[in-house]
Structure 1
């Protein structure tokens, strides 16, 4: 059912995960909206790595999509069991303790108890630890591209592609988005910035909304599912302690049911501390063969159990990425602008450690969508209420993500660090 046109639309900058799920919540509530995305289409750029979903993230998505829509989403997710979470030495191919020490295979019920005890000990010593399983004792994951496709269903006619939002203009009775060519949108009742870490809306809203470059880098890639057979089902973290430029790691999710299908590709993500992964001429916008070549070079001495992921990789899908993070102390407070707010990475960018970023972003979408539904559309004080509640859980998430990255990659940032 199409949104009612009796109200001014909610304007949404960006068509990423948080924005599209938020738009879906407005569609179900019959609140008019328009989405402005700088890309020419949903397939304009690579969709990135597979995302791991927490119970909080799944609950937020379920609240927005409803029972029928969530079933479609749930069926599209991969559910990984097997050995659960395990770590491998990149050179020997042998399994090591999740906490980085020796001993224990981590398999079976005794292994699960052992991992729990190890995690508790590590948390006391090092701070936060990763929790992977969410529903039904499984690790649930789905690709960014598939998430965007499902979230976007029904909203296509309200998306304006090739519209790069570079700012906004608050009017007497609303707000307008300002585009890169100097033109402006129709007047909306509210503008929501969801354009990610480079959000122009966030920068205009408050100078306190900063995204820091941690200096750490990574590479995304994918390969046919057959390349993963020697790993087997599970979530695997491969650690290379012999990398001369600093400890590097790779993480991947090997799902059951797809390993024998040559038409299915699994993804992997490499990362490492500052200096461990360097793009040619420090150009981290490069994609394809340059990124693939570096990944192959970095892993040429890895164990034969792991090397097929790189030797058989789809070179065109490889891409460098910067590891960024918002203020480690939490989401800052800024002077509320009633007609403008921000969601997702635009307000709380996180490191990949813990897989927390996307789960927090969809919580923003569900929360803001619910507040608008309950109010019947935009109302004075709504953005202040959203920001107050969001700031609590998002600050906890940023702190956890930063703490995990600090412990595993040696990342250290503060208010004086370089921003993106």
Structure 2
């Protein structure tokens, strides 16, 4: 990073949105510091595989150097099959023609984003690529819980009460539990717990041979505990590699998936056993996904969503703003969340670079444009989740704190 007399831009959280924003700054030689609560990049699991939309890919390509973009593109999987195919978990019936999804074409939800393919990447792989060159500027084990403005900048405030050095601005990208988002918006930014729960699982590629190449949603609407489904992406280029594991993501309506003592940080056999129990009556075509799963990799997750009417308006603070899930949490329906987050990173990075660093008006311009596409994305994500899992947000829906 080139030497400069400017104060650094402070970034809270070292997730995808934060790291991609940092890549913008790094390429423009604008100083930055990232504060992450975890002790290292491998402190916890990286979650499920991400589907990248055309907008998401465009945003990432606009930020990365040509060399880094080529490395990123080569890492992604390119899956054919013409779109998402819906199957009945019990009968193996193709339900695609019965879908009412507005994105569906010819009975299949179109997932193509480039080259006529569905483009995907593991969250952990994506994070590692975005880390490139940023590692020296990350302070691990630093949980940001708020900020303090000064006459000429801003300090990040940490959980132990200490403060960062003064920065030109603070960008909060630490996810749905962001304290900065709550402070900045004076509580207007809310994340709701929809009650639905899920499980991530992995199995060797051999378990997916019966499915074949494609993106598959397998749905069990007759389970006595409530509707449960999984989605999985079977990539052809890795099908015969015994060292590779494919993943699946399970989701159930509220009340179907329950972690012991309501502790959804549990991973391993406990989660695996619940997934196996819920799928005990599934068609033989799908059974290997659970019979052969790597039990230690199974993990619970919660389905959350921001206010479904869209990103609220708060009084702009020129030196502080929010990106990614801190600004707009979404359900996994449609795979919209990560794509919207990288759009935030690209947009804010572009505005900061055009201004040569922090400048009055940058965060206001970013928030005005972000609210348009992010509000549309939240509404779409919530609408699809409501149809799939029967989730609703009302005055009784609990808020994630």
TM-score band, normalised by shorter chain: over 0.9
The answer as to whether partners of 1:219 and 1:319 remain within 8 angstroms in 2 is: yes
The answer as to whether partners of 2:84 and 2:110 remain within 8 angstroms in 1 is: no
Alignment correspondent of 1:290 = 270
> How many equivalent residue pairs?
397
Distance in 1 of aligned mates of 2:294 and 2:107: 36
Q: 1:172 aligns with which of 133, 136, 151?
A: 151
TM-score (norm. length: structure 2): 0.96
Alignment correspondent of 2:105 = 116
Written as runs of structure 1 = structure 2, the 5 A alignment for 1:1-400 is 2-97=1-96, 99-100=98-99, 116-118=105-107, 131-206=110-185, 207-400=187-380
- 1:405 and 2:394 are equivalent in the alignment: no
The answer as to whether partners of 1:131 and 1:354 remain within 8 angstroms in 2 is: no
Q: Please state how far the C-alpha of 1:337 moved relative to its aligned partner.
A: 1.0
What's the CA shift string for 1:89-139, capped at 9, x where partnerless?
1112232225448xxxxxxxxxxxx952547xxxxxxxxxx5411001100
CA distance 1:386–1:115, change in 2 (3 Å): closer
Q: SS in structure 2 opposite 1:21?
A: helix
What's the CA shift string for 1:127-158, capped at 9, x where partnerless?
xxx54110011000000100000011011100
Distance in 2 of aligned mates of 1:321 and 1:232: 27
What's the CA shift string for 1:41-97, capped at 9, x where partnerless?
111000110000000000000000032221110000000003532111111223222
CA distance 1:228–1:22, change in 2 (3 Å): same
Distance in 2 of aligned mates of 1:95 and 1:66: 42
The answer as to whether partners of 2:35 and 2:142 remain within 8 angstroms in 1 is: yes
Q: Structure 1: 5+ residue runs without aligned partners?
A: 102-113, 120-129
Larger deviation: 227-236 or 275-284? Answer: 275-284
Distance in 1 of aligned mates of 2:2 and 2:395: 43
Q: Please state how far the C-alpha of 1:186 moved relative to its aligned partner.
A: 0.5
Distance in 2 of aligned mates of 1:151 and 1:115: 32
The answer as to whether partners of 1:98 and 1:115 remain within 8 angstroms in 2 is: no
The answer as to whether partners of 1:86 and 1:98 remain within 8 angstroms in 2 is: no
The answer as to whether partners of 1:327 and 1:415 remain within 8 angstroms in 2 is: no
CA distance 1:3–1:276, change in 2 (3 Å): farther
Distance in 2 of aligned mates of 1:118 and 1:302: 23
Cα RMSD after superposing both structures: 1.4
Q: Please state how far the C-alpha of 1:161 moved relative to its aligned partner.
A: 0.6
The answer as to whether partners of 2:104 and 2:110 remain within 8 angstroms in 1 is: no
CA distance 1:225–1:315, change in 2 (3 Å): same
TM-score (norm. length: structure 1): 0.92
What's the CA shift string for 1:159-208, capped at 9, x where partnerless?
11111111111111100011111111000000011000001110111110
What's the CA shift string for 1:290-346, capped at 9, x where partnerless?
111111111111111111111111111111111000000000000111111000000
CA distance 1:143–1:26, change in 2 (3 Å): same
Distance in 1 of aligned mates of 2:395 and 2:3: 44
The answer as to whether partners of 1:15 and 1:195 remain within 8 angstroms in 2 is: yes
